[in-house]
């Protein structure tokens, strides 16, 4: 089976082209190949294929084999893959994901014909349990919602970008014991389908820093949908403007929340790392 390794802001996945390859058990394959000691090493597996809706489809599997609805960084990589591997010549692509159709806009270098940046319309931010099954339906919303974690009270703002995010604002995220705290929030009873968790340190009105604990993968260098959720949560709680740069361990992402139309846009680059074959 041929594959490509790609990364966007350090969020690395293994990409398989279903127009050429067949994957019978993607969950098991993701677990095996994602292992950084005995496999290829990645945050998970991305399958690129045909779609009855939109232009192409994307399925994502976390490193533990669980299937996720959406990954903004992976969607940007898919856009680059589709264009540079010759599957499409279009620079506007409708990508069918587990959380619906996402519109990709590619910026292409006129000299090299390589994709420099990709903007993803991530759709609307979901704040209400009425519209999301990702947290307890008894709660209409969670904004600065107090939760006791490891004997300490923290405030969580929940935002779904088609996948669940618990955003926590705090000081000094570098000293955070994320390997200890992350799993406690991921598996908290408030989140029946588990949750991604973003730990956010505000720099100023247009800049914030982020560490992320992704459900099924642990701490990763970046999370595109998590960056989107964090800017929405920060603007919603009056901490930042609705347009901000998010500094992650793997790089910087640009996020804009159009509050009037509730549309969130994620912009950043994407890169091929290597390609290979595996039995």
Enter the CATH code of domain 2-122+269-277.
Answer: 3.10.310.10
Q: Longest Cα pair distance anywhere in the chain, in angstroms?
A: 57
Counting DSSP H helices and E strands in the chain, the numbers are: 4, 18
Q: Are the C-beta atoms of residues 43 and 63 closer than 8 Å to each other?
A: yes
DSSP state of 88: -
Strands (E), the chain: 2-8, 11-17, 44-49, 56-62, 67-68, 92-97, 100-108, 115-123, 145-149, 152-160, 164-169, 196-204, 207-214, 218-220, 243-248, 251-258, 263-268, 271-277
Q: Are the C-beta atoms of residues 74 and 47 closer than 8 Å to each other?
A: no
Fold of 145-261: Diaminopimelate Epimerase; Chain A, domain 1 (3.10.310)
Q: Is 145-261 in the same CATH topology as 2-122+269-277?
A: yes
CA distance 55 to 101: 9
Cα(first)–Cα(last) distance of the chain, in Å? 6
Torsion angle defined by CA atoms of residues 86, 54, 44 and 228, in that order, rounded to the nearest 10 degrees: 110
Closest by Cα among 207, 228, 209 to 120: 228
Q: Are the C-beta atoms of residues 61 and 42 closer than 8 Å to each other?
A: no
CA distance 135 to 156: 12
How confident is the model over 13-25, as a mean pLDDT? Answer: 97
Q: What is the pLDDT of residues 99-132, one digit of tens each?
A: 999 999 999 999 999 999 999 999 999 987 665 6
Q: Are the C-beta atoms of residues 7 and 77 closer than 8 Å to each other?
A: yes
- Band of pLDDT at residue 86, cut at 50, 70 and 90: very high
Q: What is the pLDDT of residues 134-155, one digit of tens each?
A: 666 667 788 999 999 999 999 9
Whether residue 188 has pLDDT greater than 70? yes
- Band of pLDDT at residue 193, cut at 50, 70 and 90: confident
Q: What residues contact residue 143 under an 8 Å CB cut-off, 6+ apart?
A: 127, 157, 158, 233, 236, 237
Q: What residues contact residue 187 under an 8 Å CB cut-off, 6+ apart?
A: 194
Residue 131 has what pLDDT?
A: 59
How confident is the model over 83-90, as a mean pLDDT? Answer: 98
CA distance 196 to 217: 10
- Catalytic residue positions, numbered: 71, 223
The model's pTM is 0.92
**Domain locations along the chain:** 2-122+269-277, 145-261
Q: What is the pLDDT of residues 220-271, one digit of tens each?
A: 999 999 999 999 999 999 999 999 999 999 999 999 999 999 999 999 999 9
């Amino acid at each position: 089976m041929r594959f490509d390794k790609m990364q966007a802001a350090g969020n690395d996945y293994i990409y398989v082209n279903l127009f050429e390859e067949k994957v019978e058990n993607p969950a098991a394959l993701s677990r095996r190949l994602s292992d950084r000691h005995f496999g290829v090493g990645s945050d998970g597996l991305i399958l690129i294929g045909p779609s009855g809706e939109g232009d192409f489809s994307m399925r994502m599997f976390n490193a533990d084999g669980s299937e996720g609805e959406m990954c903004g960084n992976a969607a940007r990589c898919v856009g680059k893959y589709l264009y540079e591997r010759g599957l499409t010549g279009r620079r506007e692509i409708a990508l069918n994901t587990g959380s619906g159709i996402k519109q990709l806009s590619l910026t292409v270098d006129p000299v090299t014909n390589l994709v420099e940046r990709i903007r993803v319309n991530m759709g609307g931010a979901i704040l209400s349990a009425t519209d999301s099954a990702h947290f307890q339906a008894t709660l209409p919303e969670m904004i600065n919602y107090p939760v006791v974690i490891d004997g300490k009270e923290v405030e969580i703002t929940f935002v779904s970008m088609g996948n669940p995010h618990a955003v926590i604002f705090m000081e000094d995220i570098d000293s955070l014991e994320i390997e200890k705290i992350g799993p406690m929030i991921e598996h908290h009873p408030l989140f029946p389908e588990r949750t991604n968790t973003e730990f956010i340190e505000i720099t100023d009105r247009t800049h914030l820093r982020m560490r992320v604990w992704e459900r099924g993968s642990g701490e990763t260098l970046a999370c595109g949908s998590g960056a989107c959720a964090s800017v929405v949560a920060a603007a919603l709680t009056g901490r930042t403007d609705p347009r901000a740069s998010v500094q992650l361990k793997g790089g910087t992402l640009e996020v804009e929340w159009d509050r009037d139309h509730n549309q969130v846009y994620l912009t950043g680059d994407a890169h091929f790392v290597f390609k290979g074959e595996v039995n």
